[in-house]
Amino acid sequence: MRRLILIALPYLWLLALFLVPFLIVVKISLSDVALARPPYLPQVDFAAGWAGLKDFFSQLDFENFAFLASDDLYWRAYLSSLKIALISTVLTLLVGYPISYAMASAAPEWRPTLMMLVILPFWTSFLIRVYSWMGILSQNGILNSFLLWTGLISEPLTIMNTEIAVYIGIVYTYLPFMILPIYATLEKLDVSLIEAAEDLGCSRASAFWLVTIPLSRPGIIAGCFLVFIPALGEFVIPSLLGGSGTLMIGKVLWEEFFNNRDWPVASAVAVVLLLILIIPIVLFQRNEQKNREAGK
């Protein structure tokens, strides 16, 4: 009985905070927009009994999903989000791996301090950190002022309201999610394996590519998933740093919900986005399961 209760608690948590809200979103995605509160129809009439439920289900349809398929705006938004999330993940990996390797190679007494420096940005509000990049990347911001002062440029660069600013914001925001899992893997790496590779004739660079990179693959995969999944549906960073020229599905979802007040279409967008995210989530879970089995 105790084991059953222990297992039931997380499932009840997922049922209440994930499955039930998701089913509500699916129901709204099958509804029709209406000038009402809430702004969609049909709604369940429990007073009518089974007849009311039958009438309710008969009015649900897939018109909103058909509309998404017919309007290229949404598919361009999905493809643009996939592209930005994928490039941002690669950039975050290129920046995060050397930092993780340096942390794992540092003296043991310095590692807690370096770890704290990585986690330190989380002590500040996410919005404040994104707003600070607006002051850095604007034409009159710190970056352009510094480059003009050094003479590297003759006129301010246009970085704000471009995809470059979005990449910078995503890499900066999600960099700890890439560093921490890679660092956790590299910290457990057996140094004697690298020494053995060097004794067998490998150079330090060859030993790094042939030993360190393959053994740190679980951390790389985990970090890439932890960056890619939230970056795909990101809304705040493209809205504040990308401007109107950056097309991402998170912005489209916001506009449908709050500007157009079209909850059914917005719910359909959210359902499709979740279905797209299921693929990397399932792959991430399988990777975690393989790592746990390998650990045993």
Q: Which percentage of the chain shows pLDDT scores above 90?
A: 33
Is 99 part of a structural domain of the chain?
A: yes
The reported pTM is 0.85
Q: What are phi and psi of 40, to 5 degrees?
A: -160, 155
Examine the pLDDT at 24 and tell me if it is beyond 70: yes
Examine the pLDDT at 37 and tell me if it is beyond 80: no
Select the highest-mean-pLDDT range: 19-23, 42-46, 175-179. Answer: 175-179
- List the single range of 9-13, 48-52, 216-220, 283-287 with lowest mean pLDDT: 283-287
- Kindly report, residue by residue over 214-247, the tens digit of the pLDDT: 889 889 988 998 999 999 989 899 989 988 778 8
Identify the domain containing residue 207 by its residue range.
Answer: 70-295
Average pLDDT over every residue of 269-276? 90
Is 254 part of a structural domain of the chain?
A: yes
- Kindly report, residue by residue over 68-87, the tens digit of the pLDDT: 989 888 999 999 999 999 99
Average pLDDT over every residue of 141-150? 90
Domain count, the chain: 1
Is 49 part of a structural domain of the chain?
A: no
* pLDDT confidence of residue 231: 93
Closest C-alpha among 127, 68, 67, 39 to residue 273: 68
Are 59 and 42 in contact, with CB atoms under 8 Å apart?
Answer: yes
Closest C-alpha among 9, 177, 204 to residue 93: 177
Average pLDDT over every residue of 57-70? 89
Is 200 part of a structural domain of the chain?
A: yes
Examine the pLDDT at 173 and tell me if it is beyond 90: yes
Examine the pLDDT at 296 and tell me if it is beyond 60: no
Distances, alpha carbon 136 to alpha carbons 147, 149, 193, in Å:
12, 15, 44
* pLDDT confidence of residue 99: 95
Is 16 part of a structural domain of the chain?
A: no
Examine the pLDDT at 292 and tell me if it is beyond 80: no
- Kindly report, residue by residue over 89-132, the tens digit of the pLDDT: 999 999 999 999 999 988 889 989 999 999 988 888 888 899 89
Say which residue, 46 or 193, is predicted with more confidence: 193
CATH for 274: 1.10.3720.10
Is 138 part of a structural domain of the chain?
A: yes
* pLDDT confidence of residue 17: 86
Q: Residue 35: pLDDT band by 50, 70, 90 thresholds?
A: confident
Bridge partner list, 40? 33
Q: Residue 295: pLDDT band by 50, 70, 90 thresholds?
A: low
Say which residue, 141 or 94, is predicted with more confidence: 94
Bridge partner list, 38? none
Taking all residues of the chain, what is their mean pLDDT, rounded to a whole number? 88
* pLDDT confidence of residue 43: 83
H/E stretch holding 41? strand 40-41
Count other Cβ atoms within 10 Å, centred on residue 146. 12
| CB contact set of 97 (below 8 Å; sequence gap of 6+) | 178, 182, 216, 220
Is 115 part of a structural domain of the chain?
A: yes
Is 275 part of a structural domain of the chain?
A: yes
H/E stretch holding 15? none
